[in-house]
Structure 1
Amino acid sequence: MTSTLAGDVREVALAYGRGRLDVALPPVCEPTVVRQRPLPPLPDPAAAVADALAHPVGSPPLAELARDRRSACILICDITRPVPNGLFLRPLVEQVTAAGVPLEAVTILVATGLHRPNLGDELAELVGDPWVLEHVRVENHDARDDAAHRSLGVTATRGTPVSLDRRFTDADLKIVTGLVEPHFMAGWSGGRKVIAPGVAHHTTIRTFHSARFMEDPRAVQCTLEGNPLHEEQLEIVRLLGDVYGLSTVVDEERRLVHVGFGEVVASHQAVVDVVAAAVRVPLGRRFGTVLTSAAGYPLDKTYYQTVKGMVTPLDVLAPGGTLIIASECSEGFGSPEFRAAQQRLATLGPDAFLATLVGKEFADVDEWQSEMQLKAVRHGRVELYSTGLAAQDHPLTAVRVVDDLTAAVQASMDRTGDRGVAVIPDGPYVVPVVG
């Protein structure tokens, strides 16, 4: 699962934008390149999808589930996730309509959370199938549209207000689709997370992302048990009744390596069980320098999403060490709300910024990403390499911006006295751990 490249390999290729960024390593460094355990790509993805729909986890086959239903809503992730929608959306729609659901009663809903809508060419790229775009209604969720949501009350455990998109709550057949990968707050992406925050009202999302959740030590990657976000999401699923999910796993080349379908919680857990052993990589030590990426396109389109790559490898960064991350940021910084939060962070400093968050019932939109960045800057030094971020935005990152990765690695080794460098080419899709 890991390969130590001491003295033989002098260059690494980090995921960056739509390609790779070659980085020359200093001659004296002792690099350990961290990659997930390879899962073989499926030889026939279409057959694998058909088999998953016919042999689900914890539910009847889709053809049987769709029988006698009047309407269906299928959730898909937004453009920030490389989900292979083109492989499974048409089979889902065709099986649902073959069972009797009118095509005009099928909605594909983009689970944007509080992200911007996906439109035009971007929507076509996201859906990945011209037939689906031509024949099926595809719409974006809008968390700020009060009238578009239905209240389901509050969760019993933590009192989170639950309000979800009516197109999903009112559908006779509810299907969630997505990608299962490590998530730096919710443990794992996909499944229940596509519902909340995916199609939740802004009050639900902003409660999830308040400091009482974000600062919980169990709100970390690869952790479900005791994770407050995961527990609230499970409670929201129970409020909805029957929900079904199709979960996918892709490799570094975005090829399908696993797919599962069934009852949304059980089928998601089954896929987590498959992928967990592949993405958690034990290293046995901490490093003074970690060189990583934001996972390339589409995750490194903005600085907002780049923060994920800062948090995921912290277990193997020695306290006071340097985390160096490469992210193209082809779309720049992110939302205006995130920019405002980063301005406050840069002005106030980490401690004073965090003090403004504690005790809030509803987090300000997108300030949670700034709060997650605090986890990295409290642990060590964070440095950013980016060719897409405007120079005037560099101060708003609240980290050190560098223009030479080789020199940055050398400077970190000089400062820490540790020649060991953990290199994580694919960023937050891989979770290095000490144990």
Structure 2
Amino acid sequence: MHDTALELAFGRGTLPLSLPARARPTVLRKADLPKLPDNAAAIRHAFAHPVNSAPLAELVKGRKSACILVCDITRPVPNRLFLRPMIEAMLAGGIPADAITVLVATGLHRPNEGEELAELIGDPWVLERVSVVNHFARDEAAHVDLGPTPTRGTPVFIDRRFAEADLRIATGLVEPHFMAGWSGGRKVVAPGVAGHQTIRTFHSARFMEDPLAVQCNLVGNPLHEEQLEIVRKVGEIYALNTVLDEARDLVFVSFGEIIASHLAAVDYVEDATVIEVPRRFHTVVTSSAGYPLDKTYYQTVKGMVTPLDILAPGGTLIIASECSEGFGSEEFRAAQARLVELGPERFLATLTAKTLADVDEWQTEMQLKPMRVGRIQLYTTGLTDEERRVTGVEIVPDINEAIAQSLARSGDDSLAIVPEGPYVIPVCRERQAAA
């Protein structure tokens, strides 16, 4: 069926697709989630009716200081909706404005500053009223050492501003994460405001190659289990969790004890996000979910991993990502250069002996997963010629031509299209269907 209305999320807009007349597309989107009729009322209700905790108005009483974690610019969290009412509750409860810190949970990403920070926070009142600062994972003096986790011995270093705050609140977006199962909640604490030693342990092959460290799985996921042990080490933490629909509108918000409130959001969104498909496809077309996730090639790798369950062995995965900001960190670029130089098997062999991964090389390790399954093609309007070379994947100048060629190569006119990239998790149920 010829369908010119199909499009992928790309940058701040969309990328239209024009398929061959013979193509039979299966479009995979999140299930429709009802929009909240009144965002402000929903947030007030979440604060007043929390999960496994006292209401926010009671939590703030008697506290001398507070630290609120927010995700960095790579996550489209609607901070503009909830930061001011949260801070107003703190002020009303007697916490001085100069004792309230909003801390950007950058992990090992670069800081968000200037106009980008203003965009991230989304409310000038917040920037004017309280301190808004970035986390720097490599500043060892800025962290407290909480000792290793009891089960796997992960070193736990946490930003001092968060660890020593009287009231600690993490905020974030609950969406599939290709390694930690789900983003948000405990993940905003670690790796969000963890030291580089903690993050690089998470990113070591011991975790990366674990078959349970995959999207939408929390059961037996070693990364999730370590994150739970870390938040317990930190102590009393609360969280505000949001869920967005494809239009980036708020559809769910929960507040309360960090672990329980996060699970409430996961329970809400899981059925809408995990899409069962009865077969695998030789051609899968996806995106990096558009802005802000497709600002760099580093983040683009996520979109290559999440649809793997529906890619037939030897098939072609075509991903569109603007890469408006370029490649990513210098460390990631160096890791990609080593991948291209050594090849996948030798590159992986250099990782497996390490207790601490080099900064950002874990994302290159994740790229090995789709490369093991089939052919990976990238359509981008960003990246220099040298950056395109060290992606280690095939660059296509015309996404529609790439789709047509893949269909012709496979002799299969069926293809899967995932417009919103890694925010949708397609799962093949052909074995269950055959049973």
Q: TM-score, normalised by structure 2?
A: 0.98
Which residue type is aligned with residue 326 of structure 2?
Answer: G
Instruction: Provide, for residues 203-245 of structure 1, a one-character-per-residue CA deviation record: whole Å limited to 9, x for no partner.
Output: 0000000000000000100000110100000000110111000
Query: Cα RMSD (Å) of the superposition?
Result: 0.7
- Distance in 2, Cα, partners of 1:415 & 1:346: 25
Q: In the alignment, does 2:13 pair up with 1:43?
A: no
- Distance in 2, Cα, partners of 1:156 & 1:302: 36
Matched with 2:365 is 371
Matched with 1:192 is 186
Matched with 2:211 is 217
Matched with 2:432 is none
Matched with 1:416 is 410
Q: Counterpart of 1:24 in 2: which secondary structure?
A: coil
Instruction: Provide, for residues 171-213 of structure 1, a one-character-per-residue CA deviation record: whole Å limited to 9, x for no partner.
Output: 0000000000000000000000000000000000000000000
Matched with 2:395 is 401
Which residue type is aligned with residue 125 of structure 1?
Answer: E
Which residue type is aligned with residue 207 of structure 2?
Answer: F
Q: In the alignment, does 2:77 pair up with 1:83?
A: yes
Which residue type is aligned with residue 82 of structure 2?
Answer: F
Matched with 2:130 is 136
Shift of 1:434: 0.9
Q: In the alignment, does 2:342 pair up with 1:348?
A: yes
Q: In the alignment, does 2:374 pair up with 1:384?
A: no
Matched with 1:161 is 155
User: Does the 8 Å contact 1:212/1:359 carry over to 2?
Assistant: no
User: Does the 8 Å contact 1:11/1:25 carry over to 2?
Assistant: no
- Distance in 2, Cα, partners of 1:63 & 1:312: 39
Matched with 2:8 is 14
Instruction: Provide, for residues 318-375 of structure 1, a one-character-per-residue CA deviation record: whole Å limited to 9, x for no partner.
Output: 0110000000000010000000000000111110100000020100000000000000
Shift of 1:401: 0.2
Q: Counterpart of 1:154 in 2: which secondary structure?
A: coil
Q: In the alignment, does 2:112 pair up with 1:118?
A: yes
Matched with 1:277 is 271
Q: In the alignment, does 2:331 pair up with 1:337?
A: yes
Q: In the alignment, does 2:139 pair up with 1:145?
A: yes
Matched with 1:53 is 47
- Distance in 1, Cα, partners of 2:166 & 2:394: 51
Instruction: Provide, for residues 384-423 of structure 1, a one-character-per-residue CA deviation record: whole Å limited to 9, x for no partner.
Output: 0000122221110000000111111111112222211000
- Distance in 2, Cα, partners of 1:232 & 1:392: 38
Q: In the alignment, does 2:179 pair up with 1:175?
A: no
Q: Counterpart of 1:117 in 2: which secondary structure?
A: coil
Moved more, 328-337 or 25-34: 25-34
User: Does the 8 Å contact 2:200/2:357 carry over to 1?
Assistant: yes
- Distance in 1, Cα, partners of 2:235 & 2:4: 55
Matched with 1:3 is none
Percent identity, aligned pairs only, is 67
Shift of 1:11: 4.1
- Distance in 2, Cα, partners of 1:393 & 1:49: 43
Matched with 1:4 is none
Q: In the alignment, does 2:100 pair up with 1:106?
A: yes
Q: Counterpart of 1:421 in 2: which secondary structure?
A: strand
- Distance in 2, Cα, partners of 1:58 & 1:25: 50
User: Does the 8 Å contact 1:63/1:95 carry over to 2?
Assistant: yes
Q: In the alignment, does 2:201 pair up with 1:207?
A: yes
Stretches (4+) displaced over 6 A? none
* Match of residue 425, structure 1, among 399, 416, 419: 419
User: Does the 8 Å contact 1:10/1:27 carry over to 2?
Assistant: no
Q: Counterpart of 2:381 in 1: which secondary structure?
A: coil
Shift of 1:43: 1.3
- Distance in 1, Cα, partners of 2:128 & 2:97: 12
Give aligned pairs, total: 429
User: Does the 8 Å contact 1:342/1:398 carry over to 2?
Assistant: yes
Matched with 2:256 is 262
Which residue type is aligned with residue 27 of structure 1?
Answer: A
Shift of 1:8: 5.2
- Distance in 1, Cα, partners of 2:60 & 2:405: 60
Instruction: Provide, for residues 56-80 of structure 1, a one-character-per-residue CA deviation record: whole Å limited to 9, x for no partner.
Output: 0000001111110110000000000
Gaps of 5+ in 1: 1-6
Which residue type is aligned with residue 372 of structure 1?
Answer: M
Gaps of 5+ in 2: 430-435
- Distance in 2, Cα, partners of 1:182 & 1:85: 19
Aligned pairs for 1:228-243 (under 5 A) are 228-243=222-237
- Distance in 2, Cα, partners of 1:319 & 1:131: 52
User: Does the 8 Å contact 1:341/1:367 carry over to 2?
Assistant: yes
Q: TM-score, normalised by structure 1?
A: 0.98
Q: Counterpart of 1:153 in 2: which secondary structure?
A: coil
Q: Counterpart of 2:211 in 1: which secondary structure?
A: coil
Which residue type is aligned with residue 351 of structure 2?
Answer: L
- Distance in 1, Cα, partners of 2:2 & 2:16: 16
